[in-house]
Structure 1
Amino acid sequence: MRFRRNETTLNNRSWLGILMLLACAPLLQGCSEKEEMTIDRVRLGLALQPSSTLALIASEKGYFRQNGLDVVLTDFPSGKRALVEGLLPGNVDIAVASDVPIAAAALRGEKFKLVASTFTASNVNRVIARRDAGIEKPADIAGKRVATQKHSAVHYFLHLFLMENRVSESDIKLSFTRAEELPPALEWGTIDAFSMREPYISQAAELLPNNHVIFAAPGVYKQYDVVVASPEIQKQSPVVIEKFLRALLMAGRFVEEHEHEAQIIVAYKLGTSVEMIASGWGEYSFQLGMGQPLLLLLEDISRWMKAEGQITPNFLEMMAFDGLEKVKPQAITVFR
């Protein structure tokens, strides 16, 4: 009887061991897959502005790392600078830029790929002016010294803003400078007004607390921010693009489910107040996409900018759909 009791105990232990192994198999498999995940290093050029929310959230919440990316982030004062100073010279592999500098670069014959739009809004940009320059309403800008950043979203907005208020570009003294130089230029009085977006509008307002007026033009320009990749990384490492977009998709879900926390993160990253970020939040759409309106807008912008004899670029050929097709195929509405 003793022999049989030991044998029974042995059999029970054997079955128990087998059951434990079966129960742990999924966990062990998950650990194995985690260990085997390839971590790809990618250099990202990003503007510190609200339109960069998805990438800022993905970085802060660790979504890039969760999707197998080691992202080395370089920040720029604007999306144009991220494209022109980061991506095009080869200093970064991926950048996020708005539609206008993308169209301008395409007109110059630069080579890059459009991966997905990450942001749309139609009331982002503003014109801020000095009251002591005699500016109280938009029409008062005629004859004044107005500055902006050349071939950027705020430049195109200024063009449309003037048209909306029946002021000709030839009626203003237009100059171009870097985004970060505009608030002090307005404070010092070397310019009378400038066209820009946050955080530079708020910075200028703080420098001239009782001597400024801010103009908006909702709906005149629906702008897009777009993920732009070097042709090399898009061709040689398409999985990197897919991982990048999956991280942004996770960030998008976080923004939808934790709006206030997302605003806190963005405010911290931008070095500004949560109130300032929240004030414009309702105007923004943080969604991955590749739509026909973006394609048409790029063509419109290039026609506005191009010199005589220049040909409108084929933006459809510049669009790379592979990554978005794997991550969010329903977001592609471009006619192909």
Structure 2
Amino acid sequence: MLNFDVVPGRAVRDILAERKTVLEIVREAYLAHGAGRTNNPDSYFLRFDDKPADRIIALPARTAVADADIAGIKWIASFPENVEQGLPRASAVLVLNDMANGYPYALLEAAGISAARTAASIALAAAAAQATHPGDGTVGFFGAGVIARTILVYLAEAGVDVRNVLVCDPHPGSAASLVAYAESLGMAGRAVPAAEALAAGTVVTATNTGAPHLDRAPEPGQVYLNVSLRDFTPEVIIAAQNVVDDVDHCLKANTSPHLAEQRLGHREFITGTIPGLLAGEFRLDPARGVVISPFGLGVLDLAVGHWVHGTAVASGTSIRIAGFFGEEQRW
């Protein structure tokens, strides 16, 4: 009999509260990717002529985890105008496939998984960068949505020095909410203009911008966590040390590093990758600023999703759909 499970968002959210486990899973997935033990093809963007700000992205992938060989796909929508209706910008599902027969065996609500793996990935990189760029305890945020909130808590979980949180967001209510969240974690928080946020020891971009709007390069000791990928001008990228999760993935779709490549005609401005940084394959120069740009790898979603599914089944919080497949025999 072929099983098919659905893991609803509330169950996913409760499981993801184990943030240390998420960090460990994402670290191992990164190291597997760096060692060439994954299959992570290009992401595919569905865009709309009549809704240019909106998109739905497919991230297919395959990876081996400790107890399974899995494939699957994340299908994630980004509709920025949702915010005006009080809805989260992003929604997503994750499908997991059994590599023994190709059949999908689970469907998970995945907006939370996507946010957690994104936050864990950049938090791990920021923590590794502290060996040469320890920061000053101040983190400036551009954007104050779900991703920013999740990044903040994961930075603290990963051991990054976060004592003061500066928030720049054009939506005052969103900025105030992130400030209040930071204060609930025992940090000081304040809404500030762009110039002040950009002067923090660590700067996080978590916006939905489609074009560069920040042109100040990181100073020695500063680290820019370029999560939304398109906020910085090519000149900022060119002036900095650059760490990406995957060179081929990150240098496309007019990300800031891609614009730098178009400007220069080469990729020599890339210092290394996040897997390489985590593995200690190179050391950053403390005399130069750093930009870390994670494009987002589907293998991270798969690894976290596989663990979430197994935990949900074991705890009885998944829903098994009997007879989901119309035919389970060839004849």
Greater share of strand residues, 1 or 2? 2
TM-score (norm 1): 0.31
Q: Which has the larger radius of gyration?
A: 1
After TM superposition, the score normalised by the length of structure 2 is 0.31
More helix by share: 1
Q: Which has the higher contact order (CA 8 A, sep 6+)?
A: 1
